[in-house]
A = this chain, B = another copy of it.
């Protein structure tokens, strides 16, 4: 499998603590060693760091850990390859433009029959089921909404319906962001936690690191972290249900659909 890590926050926040835990799962405490990637939004722009090498041995991963890039929306992924070879073009997250915004996507799971998905003018560059699913999703969205609608709820509902259809092809856990929102869909493994004042301490499962969030935050901060498996052993993470779809907007849960 592979692991997802996302963050939605109301102030630019660094993800070093969570990323430190995730990085160990890339070949050290976990088997996910066929590449990793992380995308940070900054306004409408984004920065992506990717490496087909295992995260536990990556110089670029060390940079990300040491240089606390602050962002309100983050999508990250470490991969254990099943569909498609190990290469940079097959390394998540994937980013494409739609409606004049950059959309970034990462997928955890495995699909079958995905070759038949019509991706329209969004052509995959690599050969993973994940990128094809993303291109199909964008094609569906563009066909239904040629321009960005005023009513984003209609868009969210339609994303959920599309995710349901992808879930029919196999295991489909997803993170999708446009820099303002982080959309999540669970098939089997996805957890989340919203941290707000009064902040406390937390200890990573995979690395001997404890953080006191009160030292790092202001009383108005709201930070949601989404991960395949909980990253800390002393906090209360919510476990998403199969088919659960959520939208986090600057840290707050603004939309939720369960089956």
Residue of B nearest to A126 (CB): B44
Residue of B45, B63, B89, B97 near A60 (CB, 8 A) is B63
Among A42, A45, A101, residue most surrounded by chain B Cβ atoms (within 10 Å): A45
The answer to whether the Cβ of A238 comes within 8 Å of any Cβ in the partner chain is no
B45 lies within 8 A of A126 (CB):
yes
Number of interface residues of A (CB under 8 A): 32
Cα A125 to Cα B103 in complex, Å, equals 11
Stretch from A9-17, A116-124, A222-230, A245-253 forming part of the interface with B: A116-124
What is the total number of copies of this protein in its complex?
A: 2
Q: Is the interface of A mostly helix, strand, loop or mixed?
A: mixed
Map CB proximity to B onto A85-127 as digits: 1 under 8 Å, 0 otherwise. Answer: 0011111000011011110000000000000000001111110
A44 lies within 8 A of B87 (CB):
yes
Residues of B within 8 A of A60 (CB): 63, 67
Cα A125 to Cα B97 in complex, Å, equals 8
Residue of B nearest to A51 (CB): B47
Instruction: Take A67-B59, A96-B97 as given contacts and tell me if A88 and B123 are in contact as well, using a CB distance cutoff of 8 Å.
Output: no
The answer to whether the Cβ of A140 comes within 8 Å of any Cβ in the partner chain is no
Residues of B within 8 A of A63 (CB): 59-60, 63
Instruction: Take A47-B50, A87-B43 as given contacts and tell me if A121 and B121 are in contact as well, using a CB distance cutoff of 8 Å.
Output: yes
A43 lies within 8 A of B123 (CB):
no
